[in-house]
Structure 1
Amino acid sequence: MFTGIVEELGQVESLIEDGSDSAVLKIRGPLVTSDARHGDSISVNGVCLTVIDNVDGVFTADVMGETLRRSSLGALEVGSQVNLERAAALGSRLGGHLVQGHVDGVARIVAREPAADWEVVRFSLPAELAKYVVEKGSITVDGVSLTVMAVDDETFSVGMIPTTSKLTVLGAKDVGDPVNLEVDVIAKYVEKMLGDRHV
């Protein structure tokens, strides 16, 4: 479980696809690897990956083909920057919201509208996720916990403060770039519990 508060920008050291529907990813992240052990979870652009090993500030993770297809990790290259967050510890502050690191879909940046002290960023909204996204609700974009400012059937917007722009990959992404989305898991549980009942 994560909070959507990015701890550091990491860098892809290598991405090896061996042709067997999987890949091995090596990422440099001195902060998140400072106490990382085999089996620990680290969120990489919002995708929960398991640490295989950790050597000199670089951790290795196996990535299944399913993950490569259903997230933007398959588009990473050597040198790409990525958002990194260690799993939340029980008893620590929850600065963002409950994030599982399970990507629900990939969106693209539709527009960026700079303002004096912040920026409005608009993203495409996959049709199958639209019912889970509400104004003032939480959403995770590339592992970053954000609040939805506005939403329609095809897009949603967030307000991005300078800190988010400077300390996450979202600040460097351009219109058309892909991003990983994770909707609020509570909405999915409520839907499952209610089933076909109408309120």
Structure 2
Amino acid sequence: MFTGIVQGIAEVVAIEEAEAFRTHVVRLPGALGEGLEIGASVAHNGVCLTVTEIEGERVSFDLMRETLRVTNLGELAVGDRVNVERAARFGDEIGGHAMSGHVIATAELVSLDEAPNNRRLWFELPESLGRFVFDKGYIGVDGASLTIGEARPATAEHAPRFCVDLIPETLARTVLADRVPGDRVNIEIDPQTQAIVETVERVMASRDA
């Protein structure tokens, strides 16, 4: 389990490609790599990955075909950076919201509004996910637990959209500061929200049957 509180940014220092498979190596200095062991879970842009090799600060992770298909990790190149969070431990403070590290889809950054002390980002979601997004709800964006500022339903011109407002601390600690329109981010829907919405839909459907 993860909390959505990004602990740092890691640089991709090597990539090994294979058919429908990729191993990437990131540098985890200091506290990010302290006590890390093979088999441990580390979220990269919100994707739960397993440590496969450790060589000093260089830590390897394998990306399977489904991970490459569903997330933005397959778009990474050497020198790119990712948000990193170590798996939560029993007794840790949950400063964000409970997250599984199972990214459901990507969303496109379609616009951003700059202000002196914050940034508002607007994302466009796949049509099927619009029903899970609402004002002041939780959402995971590249592994960061964020509150939805506003949600807009799909129209004839565009798919469902939502925005988040980022404070200076979030901009300083995450790769969201580097995102520009056209970039794709990993999305994890709040599991509780998803369960409630789908349960209500099933109940309503059974009543209409």
In 2, Cα distance between equivalents of 1:191 and 1:120: 26
Q: CA separation in 1, counterparts of 2:145 and 2:180?
A: 19
- Residue of structure 2 in register with 1:170 after alignment: 176
- TM-score normalised by structure 1 residue count: 0.95
Alpha-carbon displacement from aligned partner over 1:142-178 (angstroms, at most 9, x marks no partner): 0011000000122100110011111100001111111
Aligned-residue sequence identity (percent) comes to: 37
Corresponding letter in the other structure for 1:179: V
- Between 185-194 and 4-13, the greater mean CA deviation after superposition: 185-194
**Number of the residue aligned with 1:24:** 23
Distance (whole Å) between structure 1 residues aligned to residue 150 and residue 113 of structure 2: 14
Cα separation, 2, equivalents of 1:175 and 1:188: 27
Q: Could you tell me whether the CA contact under 8 Å between 1:2 and 1:88 is conserved in 2?
A: yes
Q: Which residue of 2 aligns with 1:110?
A: 110
Give the deviation of 1:131 after TM superposition.
Answer: 0.9
Listed as ranges, the matches of 1:103-142 within 5 Å are 103-142=103-142
Give the aligned residue type for 1:160.
L
Cα offset, 1:189, TM superposition: 2.1
- Counterpart of 2:166 in structure 1: which amino acid? M
Secondary structure at the counterpart of residue 24 of structure 1? strand
- Partner Cα distance (1:179, 1:43) in 2: 14
One-letter amino acid of the counterpart of residue 110, structure 1:
V
Q: Distance in 2 between matches of 1:36 and 1:26?
A: 14
Residue 188 of structure 1 corresponds to 194
Structure 2 letter corresponding to 1:26: V
1:32 positional shift: 2.1
- How many residues are paired up? 198
Structure 2 counterparts to residues 65-76 of structure 1, below 5 A: 65-76=65-76
| Contact preservation (8 Å) 2:68, 2:74 | yes
Q: 1:160 aligns with which of 163, 166, 187?
A: 166
Matched residue type, 1:52: T
TM-score, normalised via structure 2 length: 0.91
Does the 8 Å CA contact 1:112/1:120 hold for their aligned counterparts? yes
Cα-to-partner distance string for 1:65-97 (whole Å, 9 max, x where unaligned): 110010000100000011000001111100000
Alignment of 1:44-59 (within 5 A): 44-59=44-59
- The answer as to whether partners of 1:33 and 1:54 remain within 8 angstroms in 2 is no
Paired letter, 2:117: D
Say which one has the larger Rg.
2
CA distance in 2, matches of 1:182, 1:111: 20
SS of 2:32's partner is: coil
1:23 counterpart letter in structure 2:
R
